Amino acid sequence: MSALAALIRRDVLVSLRVGGGALIGVLFFLSVVVLMPFAVGPDLALLKRIGPAILWLGAMLASLLTLDRLFAADHDDGSLDLIVMSRTPLELACIAKALAHWVASSIPLIAAAPALALMLNLDAAATIGVMLTLLAGTPALTLMGMIGAALAVTLRRGGLLLPVLVLPLSIPTLIFGVIAANAAASGQSPFGPPFSILCALSLFGLVVGPLAAAASLRQGLD
């Protein structure tokens, strides 16, 4: 457990100090929200109606923006080989790295969501709904995206393939995240069922993601 804690601490510090993952993600998130009114026009009613979808789309793209750093830096400096050959199960190491990525990249996005929601004319109930759905759904984005990151890290120019590999895996999370956020915003449809499915997707990713990522790393590094 001490090795996993050290791995989480190291990855979070590297992401915040060196890679700037949190700042890049928040700036990208801000750019999406700021540019959207220019695309759809200054209609406040329309922005309020599509605001949860805009926030979810921006958060998804921002969280996937730094996925290539999940294993690439360790592969470049040789740390990934040490992680694979260590006594710690590789699946647990993958969970630790996914947790560090989520803390460094997704938590700042959730924290920035209320300020960005004001720009889209969202009320308090809609903002809280968006934050809850992001809190429940972003782990699924990281855990399923970890599979694509593990596949891409051992391929030449794999970073170019990462969006192609990851985006199809992220579509279910985006769909149910937007449905749950819209339900919280409108109050006309039940919030519980889509939110429960969103939580189930994160739990599914917790089971499948580390197993698939560890198998990909073992196969690719042999």
Look at residue 172 and tell me whether its pLDDT is greater than 90: yes
Q: Which pLDDT value is given to residue 136?
A: 94
Look at residue 20 and tell me whether its pLDDT is greater than 80: no
Domain ranges of the chain: 2-221
How much is the average pLDDT of 189-209? 93
How much is the average pLDDT of 65-74? 79
Query: Could you give the angle at the alpha carbon of 8 between the alpha carbons of 165 and 171, nearest 5°?
Result: 25
Averaged pLDDT score across all residues of the chain:
85
Q: What is the pTM of this model?
A: 0.88
Phi-psi category of residue 43: left, alpha or beta, with phi > 0 → left and psi -120 to 50 → alpha? beta
